[in-house]
Structure 1
Amino acid sequence: MPQLALGKQFFASGEYDELPPSARKNIRLAMEKFSLLTHAELKADKGLNFKPPQGRRNRSIFTFKVDNFYRGVVLAPESGDSYLLLKVLAHDAAYDWANKQDAGVNQLTGAVEIWNAEALERATPDLEERAAPTAPEQRLFAKVSDGELTTLGVTEKVLRAARTAVDADDLADIVPFLPEDQAEVLQYLAAGFSVEEIWRDVVAHRPSGAVGGDLDTAIRNTPTRVRLVSGLDELEEILSQPFAAWRTFLHPAQRRIAYKASYPGSYQVTGGPGTGKTVVAMHRVKHLLTYLRPGERILFTTFTNTLASALRTGIRQLVDDPGRLERLDITTVNAQTSQVLTEAAGGRAPRFVNDLQELDRWRRIVGEQGLEWSAEFLQQEYRHVVLAQRLDTLEEYQKADRRGRGNRLAAPQRERVWRALTAFTEGLDADGVQTHLRGCDQAARLLEERGPRFRHVVVDEAQDLHPAQWRLLRAAVAPAPDDLFIAGDPHQRIYDAKVSLKALGINVVGRSQRLRRNYRSTQQILTWSRPLLEGEEVEALADGGTESLAGYRSALQGPRPTTHAATTPGEEWDALVKRVREWLDAGVEPSSVAVAARFRWAVGDTVSALTGAGIEACELRGSDDDTPGVRVATMHSLKGLEFRCVAAVGVSEGVVPNPKAITDARVDEIQHATDLMAERCLLFVVCTRARDHLHVSWHGRPSPFLVEAGIA
Structure 2
Amino acid sequence: MPHLAFDIGFCAQLGKLQGTVKQGVFDAWEKFERLTLDQLFKDPGLKLESLKRARDPHIRTIRVDQGTRGVVLAPDSGDTYVLLRVMPHDKAIDWAIKQKASINAVTRAVEIRDIAMLDELTPAYERIAPAPDQRLFAHVSDGDLSALGIDGTTLLQARVLTDLEQLEVFAPYFPQDQREVLEYLAAGFGVEEVWRDVVSVSLASAPAEDAPVDTTDFATAIQRTRTRIALVTASEELRDILDKPFAAWRVFLHPSQHKVAYRASYSGPAQVTGGPGTGKTVVALHRVRHLLRYLRDGERILLTTYTNALVAALRAGLAALVEDESLRDRVDIMTVDAFAARVVSTSRRPLRGGEEEARWVQAAKATGFTGTPQFLGQEYKHVVLAQNLRTLDAYKECERRGRGSALPTSARELAWRTIEEFTGRLTVDGLRTYLGTCAEAADLLEYGGARYRHVVVDEAQDLHPAQWRLLRTAAPVSPDDLFIAGDPHQRIYDSKVSLKAVGIRVAGRSTKMRRNYRSTHEILSWSTALLVGRPFEQLADDARNETLLGYRSSLHGSGPEAYGADTEDAELDALVQRVRGWLDSGIAPGEIGVSARFNKNCDHAAERLRAAGVPAIRLRGDAPSDGEAVQVGTMHSFKGLEYRCVAVIGVSDGALPYARAVTPADVDRLQHETDLLAERCLLFVACTRARDGLYVSWSGQPSEFLVEAGV
Q: Alignment partner for residue 316 of structure 2, among 306, 313, 316?
A: 313
3-state SS of paired residue (2:407): coil
Residue aligning to 2:690: 690
The structural deviation recorded for 1:276 is 2.1
Amino acid at match of 2:199: V
The structural deviation recorded for 1:412 is 4.2
* Contact 1:452-1:478 at 8 Å conserved across structures: yes
- 2:234 matches 1:231: yes
Does 459-468 or 153-162 show the bigger shift?
153-162
* Contact 2:51-2:57 at 8 Å conserved across structures: no
1:541-580 to 2 correspondences below 5 Å: 549-580=548-579
Does 569-578 or 474-483 show the bigger shift?
474-483
CA–CA distance in structure 2, aligned partners of residues 668 and 194 of structure 1: 40
Task: Summarize the Cα distance change of 1:587–1:244 in structure 2 as closer, same or farther, 3 Å threshold.
Answer: farther
* Contact 1:272-1:489 at 8 Å conserved across structures: yes
Q: Cα deviation per residue 1:643-665 (whole Å; 9 max; x = unaligned)?
A: 11111111111111222212233
3-state SS of paired residue (1:5): strand
3-state SS of paired residue (2:480): coil
- 2:457 matches 1:421: no
CA–CA distance in structure 2, aligned partners of residues 58 and 290 of structure 1: 45
Q: Cα deviation per residue 1:241-285 (whole Å; 9 max; x = unaligned)?
A: 337735863333333333333333222222221222222222222
1:639-654 to 2 correspondences below 5 Å: 639-654=639-654
* Contact 1:310-1:623 at 8 Å conserved across structures: no
Residue aligning to 2:257: 254
* Contact 1:313-1:623 at 8 Å conserved across structures: no
Residue aligning to 1:275: 278
Task: Summarize the Cα distance change of 1:664–1:189 in structure 2 as closer, same or farther, 3 Å threshold.
Answer: closer
Task: Summarize the Cα distance change of 1:620–1:84 in structure 2 as closer, same or farther, 3 Å threshold.
Answer: farther
Task: Summarize the Cα distance change of 1:583–1:456 in structure 2 as closer, same or farther, 3 Å threshold.
Answer: same
3-state SS of paired residue (1:437): helix
CA–CA distance in structure 2, aligned partners of residues 53 and 319 of structure 1: 42
Residue aligning to 1:345: none
Task: Summarize the Cα distance change of 1:222–1:322 in structure 2 as closer, same or farther, 3 Å threshold.
Answer: farther
Q: Cα deviation per residue 1:29-67 (whole Å; 9 max; x = unaligned)?
A: 333333433323322322222322233344433322222
- 2:629 matches 1:629: yes
How high is the TM-score relative to the length of structure 1? 0.92
The structural deviation recorded for 1:609 is 0.8
CA–CA distance in structure 2, aligned partners of residues 247 and 573 of structure 1: 39
Residue aligning to 1:201: 197
Q: Cα deviation per residue 1:581-626 (whole Å; 9 max; x = unaligned)?
A: 1111111111111111111122111001111112111112469523
CA–CA distance in structure 2, aligned partners of residues 405 and 637 of structure 1: 28
The structural deviation recorded for 1:494 is 0.6
* Contact 1:5-1:229 at 8 Å conserved across structures: yes
Residue aligning to 1:162: 158
The structural deviation recorded for 1:434 is 2.1
CA–CA distance in structure 2, aligned partners of residues 37 and 350 of structure 1: 67
Task: Summarize the Cα distance change of 1:266–1:426 in structure 2 as closer, same or farther, 3 Å threshold.
Answer: same
Residue aligning to 1:119: 117
Amino acid at match of 1:617: A
* Contact 1:595-1:649 at 8 Å conserved across structures: yes
- 2:240 matches 1:242: no
The structural deviation recorded for 1:535 is 5.6
Residue aligning to 2:667: 667
CA–CA distance in structure 2, aligned partners of residues 222 and 588 of structure 1: 31
* Contact 1:490-1:547 at 8 Å conserved across structures: no
The structural deviation recorded for 1:180 is 0.6
- Cα RMSD of the aligned pairs, angstroms, is 2.4
3-state SS of paired residue (2:181): helix
Task: Summarize the Cα distance change of 1:45–1:282 in structure 2 as closer, same or farther, 3 Å threshold.
Answer: same
Does 376-385 or 546-555 show the bigger shift?
546-555
* Contact 1:258-1:281 at 8 Å conserved across structures: yes
1:388-427 to 2 correspondences below 5 Å: 388-427=386-425
* Contact 1:51-1:64 at 8 Å conserved across structures: yes
- 2:616 matches 1:613: no
Residue aligning to 2:595: 596
Amino acid at match of 1:262: S
The structural deviation recorded for 1:455 is 2.6
Does 155-164 or 466-475 show the bigger shift?
155-164
The structural deviation recorded for 1:504 is 0.8
Q: Structure 1: state its 5+ residue gaps.
A: 343-347, 537-545
Amino acid at match of 2:651: V
3-state SS of paired residue (2:139): coil
1:91-130 to 2 correspondences below 5 Å: 91-130=89-128
Amino acid at match of 2:254: H
Amino acid at match of 1:658: Y
CA–CA distance in structure 2, aligned partners of residues 411 and 141 of structure 1: 57
3-state SS of paired residue (2:403): coil
Instruction: Report sequence identity in percent.
Output: 54
Does 196-205 or 615-624 show the bigger shift?
615-624
Q: Structure 2: state its 5+ residue gaps.
A: 535-544
Residue aligning to 2:337: 334
Amino acid at match of 2:7: G
CA–CA distance in structure 2, aligned partners of residues 164 and 349 of structure 1: 69
The structural deviation recorded for 1:151 is 1.8
CA–CA distance in structure 2, aligned partners of residues 216 and 626 of structure 1: 43
CA–CA distance in structure 2, aligned partners of residues 526 and 403 of structure 1: 33
Amino acid at match of 2:72: V
Residue aligning to 2:6: 6
Residue aligning to 2:16: 18
CA–CA distance in structure 2, aligned partners of residues 374 and 85 of structure 1: 64
- 2:676 matches 1:676: yes
The structural deviation recorded for 1:374 is 2.4
3-state SS of paired residue (2:189): coil
Q: Cα deviation per residue 1:661-704 (whole Å; 9 max; x = unaligned)?
A: 12233333322222221111101111111111111111111111
3-state SS of paired residue (2:271): strand
CA–CA distance in structure 1, aligned partners of residues 676 and 522 of structure 2: 25
Residue aligning to 2:539: none
The structural deviation recorded for 1:337 is 1.3
The structural deviation recorded for 1:170 is 2.9
3-state SS of paired residue (1:654): coil
Residue aligning to 1:298: 301
Does 663-672 or 488-497 show the bigger shift?
663-672
Residue aligning to 2:699: 699
CA–CA distance in structure 2, aligned partners of residues 286 and 547 of structure 1: 35
Residue aligning to 2:185: 189
Residue aligning to 1:541: none
The structural deviation recorded for 1:316 is 2.7
The structural deviation recorded for 1:384 is 1.2
Residue aligning to 1:432: 430
* Contact 2:458-2:484 at 8 Å conserved across structures: yes
